[in-house]
Amino acid sequence: MLAKIEITGKIILKSGMHIGSSEAFAAIGAIDSPVARDPVSGLPYLPGSSLKGKMRSLLAKAYNENLKIQTRDEDDERIKRLFGCSKNADGNPQSSRLIFSDAILNNMEELKRKGLSVPTEAKEENTINPLTAIANPRMIERVVKGAVFPLSLIYNAIDPDTVEEDLSLLADGLRLLQYDYIGGHGSRGYGRIAIRDLDIACVIGEIDEAVLERCKAVIGAI
């Protein structure tokens, strides 16, 4: 029987984060590269696709024996089981056991109490032409340090025998994220995060209590 486990927590920015929107036009003197925003609230958001892609990429570097793979179908079997692939070892597609959600900034009132009127900042960056030494300045919008995004993942417990291994792999992915970055310009210090207040709960179906408690211990140790 299918069971679903929800993993919740919060993502706290330790440095400004830039995940760009699809807007191509920028007026003279305006932000050249704005951040992605929720169209309803206007608040910055962290796309689930960005979180999933970054986590999978980090786990692939950690677990794949061959780092020069051509497609994600060549990932380690544990990664494919958790994140899915178009063609498994038997030639069939493998659906993802993890469901990621977009996360909309949820501590705007706290940021206002700290004196901020908006949750973003404009940061000027320069690229230098190595031949002419001419600078090409641009303005990049970043979500400010201290912004908080709610973390919510759903894990489909399809095989009871692999639940612990799957969630241990997920824990490794969350841990790796904290020592890397999310979004662009990470080598310049952007997108450093902390993940806090993690918890898991079986929300659909049933999971053996002993297994769930061991999974809680693994996730809670991050």
Q: What is the per-residue pLDDT across 36-72, written as a single tens digit (0 to 9) for each?
A: 999 999 999 999 999 999 999 999 999 988 777 777 7
What pLDDT was estimated at residue 74? 81
Whether 32 maps to a domain, the answer reads no
What pLDDT was estimated at residue 26? 44
What pLDDT was estimated at residue 1? 67
Segments forming the whole domain that contains residue 163 = 3-19+37-117+144-220
Whether 131 maps to a domain, the answer reads no
Whether 128 maps to a domain, the answer reads no
Which range among 39-48, 63-72, 113-122, 166-175 shows the weakest confidence by mean pLDDT?
63-72
Whether 80 maps to a domain, the answer reads yes
For the chain, the domain total comes to 1
Q: What is the per-residue pLDDT across 176-216, written as a single tens digit (0 to 9) for each?
A: 999 999 999 999 999 999 999 999 999 999 999 999 999 99
Name the 3-class secondary structure at 56. helix
pTM check: above 0.95: no
